Structure 1
Amino acid sequence: MIDKRNFKLDVLLPMKAHSERVPNKNFKIFIDRPLYHWVTSTLEKSDYIKTIWINTDSDFIAKDAVKNFKKVKIINRPEHLRGDFVSMNKIIDHDINMIKSEHFIQTHSTNPLLKRETLEKSINHYFENLSLYDSLFSVTKIQSRFYTESMVPFNHDPNELKRTQDLQPLYEENSNIYIFSKQSFNDAGKKRVGIKPNMFIIDKLESIDIDNENDWKIAELIAKYNIGNLQ
């Protein structure tokens, strides 16, 4: 039996200054405060979180984060890891080798609707199933009719028109939560999704990852509607 008092881990919260599709996305005001404040506030409130490590190339984010959040520590992103085409796994590899911890959770500033309850459920699920799985990542369950680009049905038979709720579900990696250990990361060839990963389902309305302007608008509408229930 794993002692729940040990269900604590460090957070990797990478943020760069530049954003191509939504300018200044990470610190653009989302309703009433910078976007990255939303998920950082959720992380800060959890007793399961020891330290929030923000890897950034932005002096503004570094100064603002330390000023506003007690659990935050800054990792200044080295030049060789800057730019829009650097693999996130390379940034993770750099960071976990600087931190004296074994278990990590990685999330993004672009997940403002992620709830503390969901975060803590995922952490519990990860530790309680370590004998079966080496890592965890969050997904959104989808039951719709899909086709390939060449119009080949992917998950259904057009001649047998099943109800969508009866279709075999597909699971979309939604980039909200990744939990792993140093060992699982290295065993998987330096990847956050391990060799034996466990999928953790998050509700679609909570798991929006802001990638473009339309995502931003949808997330703001949901946040305004659910403002009393978030965090």
Structure 2
Amino acid sequence: MKLTAIIVDDEPIARNFLERYCEKTDTINVVGSFQDSETAFRYLEQNEVDILFLDVEMPGESGFQLLDKLMIMPKVILTTSKTDYAYDAFQYKVSDYLKKPFTYLRFQEAVAKVNEAFKEKKEAPIKEDTFIKSNGKFIRLNYEDILYIKSIGDYVKYCTFDKKYIAHSTLKAVEEKMIDRLCFMKVHRSYIVNLRKINNIEDSTLYIGDSVIPISKLLKTEVMARINIAS
């Protein structure tokens, strides 16, 4: 299966250059090409990709500013004409750093690193925790501690027993991230709940602790079926 990728670079020649290299491989499908960070961010708010080919210096927000805003972080391959950003690249844990101009062989080496990382991830057991970015810092949350997640406009609220965390994301992105977690389910257009934390259900409403959460009529039958699986 091919890995999905987007390219973010303000130079059309550089974008075309990368697109051609990606076409030559049999492992990458380019699903978007953007000339600035702001447009790329709007795409990534609604879509998750495997690889982000990213220039650093661009008009408007830099490549690193884009990374600061992302809730779900793809594998990042920096493509820049300077070597000044090596330390920053290390801090952001990018997969590779391609200095322009680079050869197809060097490009293949970078892609190979990403492919290996995905192979290891696929073989690894499902993690019991996740990181969310809230108030400018990354916070580790154990999945079992999450009671429910609520959509509030362009943000989501993670609710645990004693704390709440606001993160910039969409509920759709959260749902895709939790696709392997059988105990989590979207029960309403504004809510994902931990099915194991439900105290009781009454008509089209469920209760988790002191919280009252609506159930979509379209999803109620599936919710009742999934409770037996998650319990």
TM-score w.r.t. length of structure 2: 0.29
Say which one has the larger Rg. 2
TM-score w.r.t. length of structure 1: 0.29
Indicate the structure with greater strand content.
Answer: 2
Q: Which has the higher contact order (CA 8 A, sep 6+)?
A: 1
